[in-house]
A and B are shown apart, each in its own frame.
Chain A
C-alpha cells in the first residue's frame, strides 16, 4: 500500500514540474508613460468694424473715398490664415457698371488698429476682386484690415447718377493645411 502511495506522489511531482515548465514564466519589467492628450483645435472668426468707423458707401460721387477698418479676431485655439473674397456682386443698372469704376482697396494693418504702416493686399476694381490673403492670426489674436472704396475723380460719368453697386465681403479663416 505504501509503495502505491509513493508512486502516486512521485507521479504528482513529475506532473507539477512539467506544468511549471509549460507555464513559460519569465521575468518582466515595464515603464508606463503619463497619458498623452491630443486635442483638436477650435477656430472661430469674428469680424466687425473697429471703433466707430463704418463703411458708409451711400451717395458716393466721383472723387470720393470711403474707408473703414475692420477687426478680424481669431477666437479659436489654433492659428489661422485670414483672407477676404467677395460674392453677390451686382450693378443696377447693369450698364452703369459702377463696380467697375469703384476701386476697392484692402490694406493689411497687421495687429495695429491705427494702420500706420499698412500692406496693400488688393487694389483694383470692385468688379474684378477675386480675393486676397490677409496674413495669419494667432489663436486669440486680432488682425486689422482697412477697406476703402475709391471713386476716381477722372471717372465721372453722368450716366452713373443713381446707380448702385453691391457686394458682400467674405472674411475667411483657415487653420492648418487642407487635404
Chain B
C-alpha cells in the first residue's frame, strides 16, 4: 500500500516538472504596431508692450487731456476675442463735484494700417467692456486712450468748474481674451 502511494506521488512529481517545459514549447508567430499621439493644449494669452497703459496724467484743468498708448498682442496659440474692460476704483469730490462726471473717454485702434474709433463719450456712459474683435494668434494692435476733462461751465467768478477742483478718479483698465471659436 505504501509502495503504491509513493509510486503515485512520484508520478505526479514527474508530471509537475514536465508540464511547464511542455507549455514552453507552445511558441507562435506575433507582431505589434504602435501609433504615437502627441496631445498639446492651445493657449489664450495677452501681452502688452512696456508698462502698459500709462497716462500722462498731471493734475487736470478743464480742457486738459491725459493720453496713453499701448500695443497689445494676442500671444496665445489660439485665436481670441479681446475686450478692454474698465473698473472704477475710487472717486472723490472734495469740493462738491466728482471729476469722473466731467471726464470723456476716447479709444482709438490702429490695426494693420486701419484706424477706427472704438469708443468716444462720457466716461460714465462708455461700456465697461469694449469688444475689440477677433485677434489671430500673434496679432498686434495699437490702442490710444484719451481722457479729456470736459469743461462743464464757464470761466467767470460765478460760473466756473471750481467744484471739480481736487477731485480724484481712479480707474483700472484690463485686457480680457476669450478663445475665439468661430
Q: Which residues of A contact B (CB under 8 A)?
A: 26-43, 76-80, 139, 172, 174-179
Given A29-B45, A36-B173, residue A41 in contact with residue B168 (CB < 8 A) = no
Q: Give the nearest-CB partner of A25 in chain B.
A: B179
For the complex formed, measure the closest distance between the CB of B65 and the CB atoms of chain A, giving whole angstroms.
10
Number of A-B contacts defined by CB within 8 Å: 151
A28 x B178 contact (CB < 8 A): yes
Complex: A172 Cα to B155 Cα, angstroms: 10
Complex: A26 Cα to B80 Cα, angstroms: 10
For the complex formed, measure the closest distance between the CB of A109 and the CB atoms of chain B, giving whole angstroms.
24
Complex: A176 Cα to B177 Cα, angstroms: 38
Complex: A176 Cα to B60 Cα, angstroms: 8
Complex: A78 Cα to B64 Cα, angstroms: 10
B59 x A78 contact (CB < 8 A): yes
Q: Is the interface of A mostly helix, strand, loop or mixed?
A: loop
Complex: A176 Cα to B47 Cα, angstroms: 36
A38 x B177 contact (CB < 8 A): no
Complex: A39 Cα to B168 Cα, angstroms: 4
Complex: A37 Cα to B99 Cα, angstroms: 11
B175 x A178 contact (CB < 8 A): no
Q: Give the nearest-CB partner of A177 in chain B.
A: B63
Binds A, one of B17-25, B30-38, B107-115, B144-152: B144-152
Complex: A132 Cα to B81 Cα, angstroms: 57
Complex: A39 Cα to B58 Cα, angstroms: 7
B residues near A175, Cβ cutoff 8 Å: 61-62
For the complex formed, measure the closest distance between the CB of A178 and the CB atoms of chain B, giving whole angstroms.
4
Given A28-B44, A178-B62, residue A36 in contact with residue B165 (CB < 8 A) = no
A residues near B61, Cβ cutoff 8 Å: 41, 43, 78-80, 175-176
For the complex formed, measure the closest distance between the CB of B61 and the CB atoms of chain A, giving whole angstroms.
3
Complex: A175 Cα to B161 Cα, angstroms: 10
Q: Give the nearest-CB partner of A30 in chain B.
A: B176
For the complex formed, measure the closest distance between the CB of A171 and the CB atoms of chain B, giving whole angstroms.
12
Complex: A31 Cα to B154 Cα, angstroms: 40
A28 x B167 contact (CB < 8 A): no
B46 x A36 contact (CB < 8 A): no
A36 x B59 contact (CB < 8 A): no
CB of B76 closer than 8 Å to a CB of A: yes
Complex: A179 Cα to B164 Cα, angstroms: 14
Q: Give the nearest-CB partner of A37 in chain B.
A: B170
For the complex formed, measure the closest distance between the CB of A71 and the CB atoms of chain B, giving whole angstroms.
21
Q: Give the nearest-CB partner of B55 in chain A.
A: A36
B residues near A79, Cβ cutoff 8 Å: 61
